[in-house]
Structure 1
Amino acid sequence: MLAKMIWMVMITLLFASHTLCRNPGLKARVTQKALDYGRQVGVQVLQQKLREIHIPDFSGSAHVSVIGNVHYKITGMRIEDFGLPQSAVGFYVGTGIKLSIDNAYIHIHGNWRVKYLFIKDSGSFDLSVSRLSISEAIGMNRDATGRPSVRSATCKANIGNLDIKFHGGGSWLYNLFSSSLENPIRSSLNREICPKVSSAINGLEQHLKTIQVSSRVDKYAEIEYSLVNPIAITNIFMDLDFKGEFYSVAQHKEPPFSPPPVSLPKQADHMMYLGLSDFFANSAGFAYYGAGALQVNITDDMIPKQYPIRLNTSSFGALVPQVRKLYPNMLMLMNLHANREPVLKAAPNNITVQALGAIDAFAILPNSSLAPLFVLDIFASVSAKMAISKMKLIGSLKLNSLHLSLGHSDVGHFKVASLQGILNLAIKIVVLPKINARLANGFPLPTVDHLSFVNPLVKVNQDILVIATDIHYGS
């Protein structure tokens, strides 16, 4: 009975582990090309760390034929050169990253003192370590905050050859007991190397902690970029699934739609690929709509002075005579607002946004109060272009079509088609420039301090925006 219960619990946990995985709004893929670039940067950091190895002083005695016991003391050892000429890095399936270093070398300088019989002597020595190899497995996962994390999984160091040359005093004699010094120095290096490698990895962990899992966009919205699934690691790439979802600052409310699966191209020509699903943008529309941000007032002073059509009852009177008759020589105000969240759809080489809303038209009375004129229901289709600038996703919109229908009128029935031209103009010269100015500010993508994109390419596929880019690390 107990065995059966344990078996059922195991099955339940296994099933839960699969059901807890969710589709991301943003998927990031790191390729072997990125690892090769990171190896160049990482080996420099590792080399600097290994130069910090401290080899403690030690003493002992050795028996030298003819002379007998020689008591020695080795002090002041310091690393003058540490070379890592051959290194390789690759993905460690299911675990993280594997790093291997071969034919490394160390040059160490130190001081010696000896005493035998009634004679004391001293001098210096040079120690050369060759055929040093280091293998390190770096485990990757997500931490409690939803950020990627790294740890040293396994580390092994193997000291190849040690060659000691003494200088000063009777160095010809002291070279005879150099083999007695090899084991203490070899042991000391073996104890120090892997902790220094782990220290370098901890430095990488500190950089990963700089990833902003929540980025404030403006007073209305923020983006959450926490990891929603364990990091997936194959032998050729590593995938990170970020939530990639906008929320209203006032209320974290989930939209009534879910992110679809995100698939990335199989090519590995770039260091990194980012896939943004429609969900990313549509969650933004849901957040901004819920925050009441998808509305704008249009007044006459927003229309460039060179345009002959003005936002007043005189101009509109030519199209809707009742307006000029009821409210002669008055300025007007139009409130354009969404009736629901806009919907973005990505198709090959094309992004369209469809929006349902209304325009409430008012006459501005002499006492500054508003007299309702009419309400127009609108359906707008716009095309979008996206690009990357300074680690942000930027965009611009262009009006494709605008369909109007009369929702309500306080000035009697009129033909809506007569207003098509002036409203097209108002949206093109007032509304879209405002939206495009906001889109030009960009939306931050998840990144690490001092990391930047190099020559990013943006391609629109079915239901997904793919960014292919190389990366650069530097201050």
Structure 2
Amino acid sequence: MMETKLLTVCLSFLVSVSLANNPGFVVRLTEHGLQYVRDLALQLLREELQHMDIPDQRGESGTPIGKIDYTLSSIRVESATVASLDISLDSGSGIRVSTSGVSLRMKADWRYKNRGFIHISDHGSIDLAIAVDLSLTGTSEMTANGQPTASVVRCEFNVQNVDVHFHGGASWLYNLFSGHVEKAIKTNLQSQACSKITETLNRNGQKAMETLDLIEEVGNDIQLDLRLVQSPIFESNYLESLQKGQFSYHKSPSLNFSPQPLSVPTYLSGQMFYMFVTEAMLNSAGEVYQKSGKLKLKITSDEISSSSFFQLNTDTIAGLIPGSTLKSKFPNMGMQLVVTVTQAPKFTICTDSIKSVISTDMIAYVIHPDGNLTYVFTLGLVLNSTLGLWVENTDGRLYLGLTKNITVIHGAVTVKDSIIGHFSGENIEAWLNLGVPFILHGIQTKGIPIPTVRALTFVDPHITLLEGSLAIGTDVKYDMSQS
């Protein structure tokens, strides 16, 4: 049924989340998004009506020839129209879908037999035209393990009109009292439709919710927990899903995860969806990516433009560490740096920038002409930086990553080990603003994937920085052929 798919699409994306009191990740569907869902639902409803499977109808009716039992079988829809469809949010209740002027023209086979002393039966075909109005309210709650539910809580079904026309058999006679059959069909539909619709939608909707995987695989042995932390929120102008947003490595969740209450500004309403990534979620990602060894980068001169004033060779590096024997031992030779983040990065999101504290080890090697490496020194770097972020749609997924707009506010350098004599790290601190942005950018060039659902494409995503969180606003396109 159309309403099952509609509620599943909305909730799959919204919950597309230990159960903490505060969410680490929040998804909001705005009024603009609801308008898109309305247009999508109208198209979906027309297709569903055109291809829906209608069970055989059986009933009884009083006619001029006495009481009869009738059967309508092989019911098929020839055409379907929908005059109007409206979707709205009932505050504190759920999603309300209302249709009016739904008209179906159908064909079926008919058969009847009377209940009199002399048994009479006949059969043939029949044309039916039915006009109905339907209103449903669906809602979603949270199970004990953070899974969403989907159910119909209100149904109104009103048959406006039924017209029948018999063919075959003694159809000329039956058409004279077709009104009796029309009344019987109308009464039958009116009394049974809501219970059958509700039963079907609840069964199919819950089945869809149970198969929804809220532990997102975002890399080898890295998962993102998107189970609900409370039931979805239905307000008059938005629908909101509050999810955990905690990363884990080898199924061991990040330790430092305590989301703060999220305040969403009212001015963020111009796009269909908003996804809010909190500091807690960002720090959870940093901890897990560091623990998994993914925050590691090997840099050689091949990654540096030949036109750059800074070249990764012994002559350049020796100028930064006076007193060392680097240049005399290894004159005019290339170098390789291996940069590893040694502690979980700490991120703070402000309205004007994202600040970070990142601790790294930088291990330097000399590259000999034959390609062999000789270890020369290890530096410890503690970097207080401001970061820029990018967001883009790649291969159907949304990725969040670092830009090259990285500024080191303060950098502390210690010499942990050296085979080229004692030297000070003071001059290297002056180089940090030049070299470290390149290093940090290279650590995570692809970005962290943002959860989505199949057949959903993001359109014009952009980032807004808030206090303690960042908002990714985006429009979407949904391809029903892939659903």
Give the TM-score band, short-chain normalised.
Answer: 0.7 to 0.9
Query: Structure 1 stretch 314-323 or stretch 272-281: which is displaced more?
Result: 314-323
Query: Structure 1 stretch 77-86 or stretch 309-318: which is displaced more?
Result: 309-318
C-alpha distance 355-82 of structure 1, shift in aligned 2 (>3 A): same
Cα distance, 1:229 vs structure 2: 1.5
Checking the alignment, whether the CA contact within 8 Å between 2:413 and 2:428 is kept in structure 1 is no
Cα distance, 1:188 vs structure 2: 3.8
May I ask how many residue pairs the two structures share in their alignment? 447
Which residue of 2 is the match for residue 463 of structure 1?
468
Checking the alignment, whether the CA contact within 8 Å between 1:352 and 1:384 is kept in structure 2 is no
Which residue of 1 is the match for residue 392 of structure 2?
388
**Mapped pair 1:416 → 2:425:** yes
Q: Deviations over 1:204-249 (max 9, x none)?
A: 55665665422233336332211121212223322111111222x2
Q: Could you list the runs of 5+ residues in structure 1 that have no partner in the other structure?
A: 1-18
Which residue of 2 is the match for residue 434 of structure 1?
442
CA distance in 2, matches of 1:37, 1:367: 58
Which residue of 1 is the match for residue 351 of structure 2?
348
Cα distance, 1:47 vs structure 2: 4.6
Instruction: Say what the alpha-carbon RMSD is for the aligned residues.
Output: 3.9
Map 1:63-462 → 2, pairs under 5 A: 63=64, 69=66, 75-76=72-73, 77-110=75-108, 125-130=126-131, 132-143=132-143, 146-166=146-166, 173-190=173-190, 191-192=192-193, 195-196=196-197, 199=200, 211-219=212-220, 221-247=222-248, 249-250=249-250, 252-267=252-267, 268-299=269-300, 302-304=303-305, 311=312, 313-319=314-320, 320-324=322-326, 327-329=329-331, 333-361=336-364, 373=377, 375-389=379-393, 390-395=396-401, 396-401=403-408, 403-408=411-416, 410=418, 413-420=422-429, 425-429=434-438, 431-435=439-443, 438-439=444-445, 441-462=446-467
Which residue of 1 is the match for residue 27 of structure 2?
28
C-alpha distance 202-387 of structure 1, shift in aligned 2 (>3 A): farther
Greater radius of gyration (CA): 1
CA distance in 1, matches of 2:289, 2:113: 83
Query: Structure 1 stretch 347-356 or stretch 318-327: which is displaced more?
Result: 318-327
Checking the alignment, whether the CA contact within 8 Å between 2:146 and 2:230 is kept in structure 1 is no
Q: Deviations over 1:103-143 (max 9, x none)?
A: 3333344566789999998765543333x222222121234
Cα distance, 1:28 vs structure 2: 1.0
Cα distance, 1:86 vs structure 2: 2.5
Q: Deviations over 1:303-333 (max 9, x none)?
A: 5555676555555444524324773447655
Q: Could you list the runs of 5+ residues in structure 2 that have no partner in the other structure?
A: 1-17
Cα distance, 1:174 vs structure 2: 3.7
Which residue of 2 is the match for residue 7 of structure 1?
none
Query: Structure 1 stretch 106-115 or stretch 152-161: which is displaced more?
Result: 106-115
TM-score normalised per structure 2: 0.76
CA distance in 1, matches of 2:58, 2:302: 82
Checking the alignment, whether the CA contact within 8 Å between 1:49 and 1:200 is kept in structure 2 is no
CA distance in 2, matches of 1:188, 1:79: 19
Cα distance, 1:414 vs structure 2: 3.8
CA distance in 2, matches of 1:460, 1:398: 15
Q: Deviations over 1:145-204 (max 9, x none)?
A: 634331222323222333344567876654442233134312443435653465456555
Letter in 2 for 1:26: F
Q: Percent identity?
A: 25
Letter in 2 for 1:217: V
Letter in 2 for 1:451: L
Checking the alignment, whether the CA contact within 8 Å between 1:350 and 1:460 is kept in structure 2 is yes
TM-score normalised per structure 1: 0.78
**Mapped pair 1:42 → 2:41:** yes
Give the match's secondary structure for 1:54: coil
Cα distance, 1:101 vs structure 2: 2.3
Query: Structure 1 stretch 164-173 or stretch 52-61: which is displaced more?
Result: 164-173
Checking the alignment, whether the CA contact within 8 Å between 1:380 and 1:403 is kept in structure 2 is yes
CA distance in 1, matches of 2:436, 2:298: 11
